[in-house]
């Protein structure tokens, strides 16, 4: 079954708090603009953006069970903050509950919080759209928004850098995919 825009919106609206649904709409608008700018599939970007927080409010124990039982989910997630779980778990749950059958869309949903090495354009669009949507307010966001208008890789690198710096300043662990994302983007940018 192919989830169209209206079906996807109805699906997530039932699962999200009002503020999070509004965030989802802003991420979707941002993702569509970025997809148009950088040549990603606009329909896939729209669908991934709408669905990216589908599992955001799932019970932590339920998400733990998914991580432990589904071979596609990395077990090391359990050793990191539970806020990271909703992307990868959501991608798997969407397949089971909503019939999501698009590996590219699922992949972008899975890595939207952490990023990863070798992200494709769709992955980068969703990662960045979630980070820079207009409702976000934190130090460094305006710089990343400005860069997003010029260079997708550099904007993603700034977002990864800011995230790593923030986590380190709080004495929190950094998920390995976030570090791999940062290192991969550094390599891309230094070889442009």
Rounded CA-CA distance 182/161 in Å is: 7
Question: How do the domains of the chain map onto residue ranges?
Answer: 5-135
- Polymer length of the chain: 192
CATH number of 5-135: 1.10.3210.10
Please give the pLDDT value at position 1. Answer: 54
Of the candidates 35, 6, 54, 16, which has an alpha carbon nearest to the alpha carbon of residue 126? 35
Taking only the tens of pLDDT, the chain with its 192 residues reads 567 888 899 999 999 999 999 999 999 999 999 999 999 999 999 999 999 999 999 999 999 999 999 999 999 999 999 999 999 999 999 999 999 999 999 999 999 999 999 999 999 999 999 999 999 999 999 999 999 999 999 999 999 999 999 999 999 999 999 999 999 999 999 987
pLDDT (0 to 100) of residue 3: 75
Buried b (16+ CB within 10 A) or exposed e, 90-127: bbbbbbeebebebebbbbbbbbbbbbbeebebbbbbbb
pTM of the model: 0.96
């Amino acid at each position: 079954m192919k989830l169209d825009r209206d079906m996807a919106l109805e699906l997530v609206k039932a699962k999200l708090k009002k503020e999070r649904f509004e965030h989802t709409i802003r991420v979707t608008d941002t993702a569509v603009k970025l997809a148009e700018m950088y040549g990603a599939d606009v329909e896939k970007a729209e669908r991934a953006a709408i669905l990216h927080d589908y599992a955001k409010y799932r019970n932590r124990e339920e998400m733990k069970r998914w991580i432990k039982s589904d071979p596609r989910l990395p077990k090391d997630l359990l050793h990191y903050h539970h806020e990271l779980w909703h992307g990868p778990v959501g991608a798997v749950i969407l397949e089971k509950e909503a019939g999501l059958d698009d590996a590219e869309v699922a992949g972008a949903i899975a890595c939207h919080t952490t990023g990863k090495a070798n992200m494709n354009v769709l992955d980068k669009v969703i990662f960045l759209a979630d980070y820079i949507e207009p409702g976000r307010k934190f130090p460094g966001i305006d710089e990343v928004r400005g860069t997003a208008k010029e260079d997708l890789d550099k904007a993603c690198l700034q977002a990864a850098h800011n995230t790593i710096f923030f986590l380190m300043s709080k004495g929190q662990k950094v998920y390995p995919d976030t570090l791999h994302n940062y290192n991969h983007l550094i390599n891309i940018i230094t070889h442009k």
